[in-house]
């Protein structure tokens, strides 16, 4: 399923981005299963394409028996390398991300993201799985493209609109909708997606990009899925050592970090 695409330009793109940590924010909402399904698919696919992948899980708090992001940020010597067999390493990250939210609120998002990127080896793709409010603070005013995975059903569409609103208005970010087809009639799902896009255009003043998961068409799904994954990597926020590709700030926002309940809407 995750066979690599034979893309002549893939090698050139990889060579030109050596030495960078790539950050991909992913919205974690009430539909945990859809978010984690996409996370595992991305991890397995990008691993086959030659990337090291780590996911930061904001729904799980670190502790002494389950070290994670907080320990990495404190330099406690936890090995961040991925296992040889697992295509994706998932780190508990609730406490660590809360610390980074405070850094972002006091020193600016650039400082928080540079600190985060410094934890991981170069060429790692870091999937930051967290609530929309957290991502809007941590990635505020950057060129990051938060992914909004959602099932094409009424509750999923409502949650996707809520996430789009927060990311656009609170974070000045450009989210990417990732609709996942369900078992309902295809025409009804297309209609629901159209309503979501039109409502965003009418009430939020912007129509977010939409990168749906490729349909599993025999003989075509591998290439389509590989192209989809490469698109996500190319849109990632890239940080190199202590420097960043972020827009410069002159006056970081001095405000309290948003630390809401994980499943608030």
213 domain-assigned? yes
169-214 per-position pLDDT tens digit: 999 999 999 999 877 678 888 899 999 999 999 999 999 999 998 7
Please identify which residue in the block is written with the tokens 């075509």.
Answer: 220
CATH code of residue 30: 3.40.50.300
Q: Which residue has the higher pLDDT, 5 or 67?
A: 67
11 domain-assigned? no
**Residue 224 pLDDT exceeds 50:** yes
Task: Classify each residue of 84-110 as buried b or exposed e, where b means 16 or more C-beta atoms within 10 Å of its C-beta.
Answer: eeebbbbbbbbbbbbbbbebbbebbbb
**Burial tier of 82 (Cβ tally within 10 Å: 0-12, 13-18, 19+):** middle
The arithmetic mean of pLDDT across residues 217-233, rounded, is 78
55 domain-assigned? yes
121 domain-assigned? yes
**Residue 231 pLDDT exceeds 50:** yes
φ/ψ (deg, to 5) at 63: -150, 180
**Quick one: pLDDT at residue 7?**
43
248 domain-assigned? no
**Residue 256 pLDDT exceeds 80:** no
201 domain-assigned? yes
Per-residue pLDDT band for 88 (boundaries 50, 70, 90) equals: confident
Least confident interval from 68-77, 136-145, 186-195, 255-264: 255-264
Domain count, the chain: 1
Please identify which residue in the block is written with the tokens 């896009």.
Answer: 197
117: its two tokens: 């990127």
247 domain-assigned? no
252 domain-assigned? no
**Alpha carbons 142 and 220: distance in angstroms, whole number:** 34
Residues 6+ apart with CB under 8 A from 19: 122, 123, 240, 241
147-151 vs 176-180, strand pairing mode: parallel
DSSP 15: H
Provide the domain limits for residue 195.
17-241
State pTM to two decimals.
0.82
């Amino acid at each position: 399923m995750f066979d690599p695409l034979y893309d002549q330009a893939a090698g050139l793109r990889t060579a030109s981005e050596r030495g960078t940590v790539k950050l991909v924010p992913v919205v974690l909402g009430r539909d945990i299963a859809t978010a984690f399904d996409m996370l595992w698919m991305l991890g397995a696919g990008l691993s086959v394409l030659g990337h090291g992948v780590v996911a930061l899980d904001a729904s799980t708090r670190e502790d002494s028996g389950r070290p994670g992001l907080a320990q990495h940020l404190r330099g406690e010597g936890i090995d961040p390398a991925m296992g040889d067999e697992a295509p994706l390493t998932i780190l508990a990250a609730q406490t660590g991300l809360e610390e980074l939210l405070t850094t972002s609120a006091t020193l600016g998002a650039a400082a928080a993201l540079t600190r985060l990127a410094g934890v991981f080896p170069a060429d790692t793709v870091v999937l930051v799985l967290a609530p929309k409010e957290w991502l809007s603070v941590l990635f505020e005013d950057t060129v990051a493209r938060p992914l909004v995975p959602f099932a094409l059903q009424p509750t999923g569409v409502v949650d996707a609109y809520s996430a789009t609103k927060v990311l656009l208005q609170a974070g000045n970010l450009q989210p990417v909708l990732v609709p996942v087809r369900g078992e309902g009639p295809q025409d009804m799902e297309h209609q629901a997606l159209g309503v979501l896009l039109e409502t965003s255009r009418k009430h939020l003043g912007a129509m977010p990009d939409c990168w749906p998961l490729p349909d599993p068409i025999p003989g075509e799904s591998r290439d389509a899925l590989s192209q989809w994954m490469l698109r996500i990597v190319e849109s990632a926020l890239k940080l190199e050592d202590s420097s960043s590709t972020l827009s410069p700030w002159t006056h970081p926002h001095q405000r309290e970090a948003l630390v809401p309940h994980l499943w608030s809407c």
